Amino acid sequence: MILVVGLSHRTAPVDVRERLAAGADTLATVLARLARRTELSEFMFLSTCNRVEVIALAADQSAGDALRAIREELALHGGLSHDAELAPYLYETRDDDAVRHVFRVAASLDSMVLGEPQILGQVKQAYDAAVAAGVLKGTLARCVSRAFAVAKRVRTETAIGVGSVSIASVAVDLAAHMFGDLSDHAVLLLGAGEMAEAAARSLGRGARALRICNRSFERAAALAGQMHASAVPWDGLDSELAHADVVVASTASQTPVVTREMVKRAMKARKGRTLLFVDIAVPRNVEPAVHAIDNVYVYNVDDLEQEVARGMKAREKELEAAEKIVAAEVAEFLAWSRGLEVQPTLVAMRAKARAVLFAELEKSLSGRLKHLGEGDRAALQQMLESAVNKWLHTPTTKLKSRAADGDAETLAATVRFLFDLQEVSAAREADRVRAESDGRSAPTAGDEDERLH
């Protein structure tokens, strides 16, 4: 059973989301802790500015225990004493709804900015990290990798990504609203993240100057070379705040890098000139108290949601078409996964039929038919194989058909009872079917992307 437990910009404010965020330096630790939970057979951990989710496959279909385990681990990761503290912010989905949720997230239908492309790359990174850690390799891996194909279809078959609605465009609109023409103003980029870089590229085109400040000066210099900007050392941040008019903050720091005292000193040197912060980092890079300083404005990712909503109407017209694609893909995936549920029964039924018939054939070939040559013996064996296939064709197709409708378990149980079948484990059979169909282990996100193109 596939499960999703998490929180997002729709359910939790940024001060809650930032407590649960996991960067590249902590992701391995989170995955290792989840790996110790026997209630989960597969999982991945997705952490972005706007959501933190555990997507998992429950061990032995024990959904209740798996959900509890995930809640406990999320609370532990967030430094909370009890998972009840997270309860008001969490959402939980399972089965069909969980698959639909995964597909919609990858296709950017649940993003703050509908149709934004960054989320697909973030899901792929989370997927690759889980595969590398050995915690994503079966049915759930198939589900997530299928989500990449869904996202591809949505991007190519609808116009949901058309237009300028993005965090970068919102930053430009905010700066234009506050300063008008940026030709006499300077932009400072803190960090070298993808979203901050996009915002700085948009702002830098019309600004008098663009400067990049990063803990790694070499990375700042490399990015500055691409953007025709200037790189400045991290220890020069105080003086940079005195000269910048727009600051786009997106570092991976777990604590604020811009404090109230730093900005108060900068504003004194600026003689009160307006200073705009666009803080798109989670955890936040700018102390919330900075916003209370006169002529200083701080917009974080939650504040940007209202600005983003103004440009969403055109994309929302494409939402219905995108949702139809998701619905069709969900139905196809569920038919496949439910087919796996009855596969052990089908394998056991076929094995028992062959065992009975071929045992009788061996008796005859050792007795009354022992005079037959190799050609005749092979013909009899082929005849029995054909008979098994024809005899089991109807029950096989009916079971698979009922599986696609989600109503096969009762019928499968009846077949097992009537024929006294001993099944191989569902997990073992699922692995066998996947190995035969895929010809290899779980793909990396890069492999899936190659197939999509």
Q: Give me the percent of the chain exceeding a pLDDT of 90.
A: 49
Which position has the higher pLDDT, 325 or 429? 325
Instruction: Please give the average per-residue pLDDT across 273-280, as a whole number.
Output: 93
Instruction: Please give the average per-residue pLDDT across 178-193, as a whole number.
Output: 87
One-letter amino acid at 124 equals K
Instruction: Please give the average per-residue pLDDT across 194-221, as a whole number.
Output: 82
Residue 41 has pLDDT above 90, yes or no: yes
Q: How confident is the model at residue 312 (pLDDT cuts 50, 70, 90)?
A: confident
Which position has the higher pLDDT, 52 or 350? 52
Q: How confident is the model at residue 453 (pLDDT cuts 50, 70, 90)?
A: very low
β-bridge mates for residue 187, sequence order:
210, 246
Cα–Cα dist 449/124, whole Å: 9
Are the CB atoms for 388 and 395 separated by under 8 Å? Answer: no
Instruction: Please give the average per-residue pLDDT across 202-212, as a whole number.
Output: 82
Residue 329 has pLDDT above 60, yes or no: yes
Residue 263 has pLDDT above 90, yes or no: yes
Q: How confident is the model at residue 268 (pLDDT cuts 50, 70, 90)?
A: very high
Q: How confident is the model at residue 185 (pLDDT cuts 50, 70, 90)?
A: very high
Cα–Cα dist 148/141, whole Å: 11
Catalytic residue among 5, 7, 14, 49: 49
pLDDT at 451: 38
pLDDT at 423: 57
213 catalytic residue (yes or no) = no
* Mean pLDDT of the residues in the chain: 85
| Per-residue pLDDT tens over the stretch 418-448 | 888 875 444 444 444 444 444 444 444 544 4
Please state the φ and ψ torsions of residue 446, each to the nearest 5 degrees: -65, -40
pLDDT at 171: 75
Q: How confident is the model at residue 242 (pLDDT cuts 50, 70, 90)?
A: very high
Q: How confident is the model at residue 309 (pLDDT cuts 50, 70, 90)?
A: low
Q: How confident is the model at residue 168 (pLDDT cuts 50, 70, 90)?
A: low
| Residue ranges of domains in the chain, CATH in brackets | 2-163 (3.30.460.30), 167-310 (3.40.50.720), 338-422 (no CATH)
Cα–Cα dist 200/203, whole Å: 5
Instruction: Please give the average per-residue pLDDT across 288-294, as a whole number.
Output: 95
Which position has the higher pLDDT, 404 or 191? 191
* Backbone dihedral region for residue 271 (phi beyond 0: left; psi -120 to 50: alpha; all else: beta): left
| Per-residue pLDDT tens over the stretch 212-226 | 999 999 989 988 888
Name, of 102-106, 169-173, 405-409, the range with top average pLDDT. Answer: 102-106
pLDDT at 110: 94
Instruction: Please give the average per-residue pLDDT across 171-179, as a whole number.
Output: 81
Q: How confident is the model at residue 244 (pLDDT cuts 50, 70, 90)?
A: very high
Residue 256 has pLDDT above 90, yes or no: yes
β-bridge mates for residue 93, sequence order:
4
Residue 197 has pLDDT above 60, yes or no: yes
| Per-residue pLDDT tens over the stretch 388-412 | 889 888 887 877 777 666 666 777 7
